[in-house]
């Protein structure tokens, strides 16, 4: 932590590692047979993969990849502290190897897409050493805890003080959620943008070995609550446009980094004391461990294609959610589809029903919302395109 030991978010430097090193290893299944691996890669989906210990070459590993309805098994040789498949590209860790082949097929049948997570004890799937090595671990004693800021899915979020800076500390209560929790941390660690809530570090040695995420403190709390509590008396058109633009800028960064958020909503946007909106809650981002568990999906915010098939989550499905978020901003935090029962929303939307523009919503914003809800994902705009439109709308207000 020496490089980042003192005061303040602004002065902080990136830890001395590429953030990509922070990786969960849910795809590592240890000692399973070739047949077991093949059963886990069903139903087939090109690029779906896992890593197991090699049975034929003890000490080596095997990368199993689904492609064209078959499973290819690649021998990963471990020699002289390096791992390689083709004896050309060498890697220090399995995480680096997987990341390489996620970015590029480089001789494999396909690039790696969906990791098949190991079931059972999630603790063994995540190597907290990655956090340690990357300099993201904050000693427990360095953080002083204060009041409760809010209640999260995994536990309370507390105000904290870290080297004189206010921070938010989210502590994990249920150890079974550690995988998702650390996935959130690793996604946050790999991203740095003024409109994304910044991770400052992870406390791994908290009371009873609890894990906490330490993030920048956002003094005005979550946007959903802010919109509802301040309402149209206090929130101006300019504020609404700024919130929209800020969220779009954060999402454009995710889009550029090929990260899919999956849970974009006003409840997952936080406001700083200076009223800058930042997207947070990367708990579902990139995490594919919940494939098939549709019960966890925020139905009213999720694009129809992603509700039907979780492999269809994309930056375009995030764009659909962004349209709902815009609708929330311009309706001052009303609940979407409030006259339709939750179980009927999907049916309505699939038949072409779309919410009307919120009262007094500017025509140009309504036009953007309409485009985000195009039934065909490819027809929806990109966040980069929308950002340019928000910037020009903003100059019109000045």
Instruction: Return the closest-CA partner of residue 288 out of 34, 22, 45, 68.
Output: 45
Residue 170 marked as a ligand binder = yes
Closest-CB residue for ligand ADP? 150
Task: Tell me whether residue 127 or residue 281 sits nearer to ligand ADP (CB atom).
Answer: 281
Provide the angle, in degrees to the nearest 10, between the axes of the packed helices 383-397 and 315-330: 30
Interface residue with ligand ADP among 215, 240, 321, 331 (CB under 6 A) is 215
Q: Where does this chain touch ligand ADP (CB under 6 A) — which range of 66-74, 96-104, 216-224, 246-254?
A: 216-224
Give SS3 for 320. Answer: helix
Q: Where does this chain touch ligand ADP (CB under 6 A) — which range of 71-79, 277-285, 331-339, 374-382?
A: 277-285
Q: Is 263 a catalytic residue?
A: yes
Give SS3 for 263. Answer: coil
| Rg from Cα positions in the chain | 22
Interface residue with ligand ADP among 217, 313, 337, 373 (CB under 6 A) is 217
Residue 185 as a binder of ligand ADP (CB under 6 A): the answer is no
170: which strand partners? 157, 213
Instruction: Return the closest-CA partner of residue 286 out of 183, 190, 199.
Output: 183
Q: Helix, strand, coil % (nearest 5) of the chain? A: 40, 20, 45
Interface residue with ligand ADP among 8, 68, 221, 231 (CB under 6 A) is 221
Of these residues, 263, 281, 287, 318, which one is catalytic?
263
Query: Within 281-320, which residues bind ligand ADP (CB under 6 A)?
Result: 281, 283
**Least distance from ligand ADP to the Cβ atom of residue 149, Å:** 4
Q: How far apart are CA 218 and CA 275, in angstroms?
A: 9
Interface residue with ligand ADP among 218, 241, 319, 365 (CB under 6 A) is 218
Instruction: Return the closest-CA partner of residue 370 out of 360, 383, 382, 356.
Output: 356
Q: How far apart are CA 120 and CA 118, in angstroms?
A: 7
Query: Within 125-184, which residues bind ligand ADP (CB under 6 A)?
Result: 149-154, 157, 168, 170
Q: Which residues are catalytic?
A: 263
Please report, in range form, the residues annotated as the binding site for ATP. Answer: 170
Positions in the binding site for ligand ADP (CB under 6 A): 149-154, 157, 168, 170, 197, 215, 217-218, 221-222, 270, 280-281, 283
């Amino acid at each position: 932590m020496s490089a980042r030991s003192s005061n303040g978010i602004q002065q902080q430097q990136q830890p001395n590692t590429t953030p990509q090193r922070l990786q969960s290893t849910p795809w590592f299944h240890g000692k399973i047979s070739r047949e077991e691996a093949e059963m886990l890669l069903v139903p087939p989906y090109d690029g779906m993969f896992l890593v197991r210990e090699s049975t034929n070459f003890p000490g080596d590993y095997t990368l199993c990849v689904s492609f064209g309805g078959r499973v290819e098994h690649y021998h990963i040789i471990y020699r002289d502290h390096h791992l390689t498949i083709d004896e050309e590209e060498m890697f220090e860790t399995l995480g680096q190897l997987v990341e390489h082949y996620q970015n590029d097929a480089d001789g494999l049948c396909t690039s790696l897409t969906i990791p098949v997570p190991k079931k059972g004890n999630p603790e063994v799937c995540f190597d907290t050493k990655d956090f340690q090595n990357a300099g993201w671990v904050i000693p427990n004693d360095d953080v002083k805890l204060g009041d409760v800021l809010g209640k999260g899915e995994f536990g309370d979020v507390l105000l904290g003080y870290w080297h004189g800076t206010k921070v938010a500390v989210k502590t994990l209560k249920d150890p079974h959620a550690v995988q998702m929790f650390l996935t959130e941390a690793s996604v946050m660690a790999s991203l740095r943008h003024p409109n994304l809530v910044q991770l400052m570090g992870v406390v791994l040695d908290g009371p009873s070995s609890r894990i906490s995420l330490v993030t920048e403190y956002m003094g005005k709390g979550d946007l959903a609550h802010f919109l509802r509590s301040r309402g149209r008396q206090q929130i101006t058109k300019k504020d609404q446009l700024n919130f929209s633009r800020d969220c779009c800028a954060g999402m454009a960064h995710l889009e550029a980094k090929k990260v899919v958020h999956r849970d974009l909503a006003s409840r997952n946007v936080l406001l700083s004391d200076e009223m800058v909106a930042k997207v947070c809650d990367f708990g579902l981002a990139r995490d594919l461990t919940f494939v098939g568990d549709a019960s966890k999906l925020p139905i009213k915010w999720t694009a129809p294609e992603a509700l039907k098939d979780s492999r269809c989550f994309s930056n375009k499905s995030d764009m659909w959610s962004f349209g709902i978020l815009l609708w929330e901003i311009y309706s001052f935090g009303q609940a979407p589809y409030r006259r339709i029962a939750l179980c009927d929303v999907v049916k309505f939307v699939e038949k072409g029903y779309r919410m009307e523009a919120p009262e007094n919503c500017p025509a140009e914003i309504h036009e953007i919302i309409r485009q985000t809800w195009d039934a065909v994902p490819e027809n929806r705009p990109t966040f980069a395109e929308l950002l340019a439109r928000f910037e020009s709308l903003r100059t019109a207000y000045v």
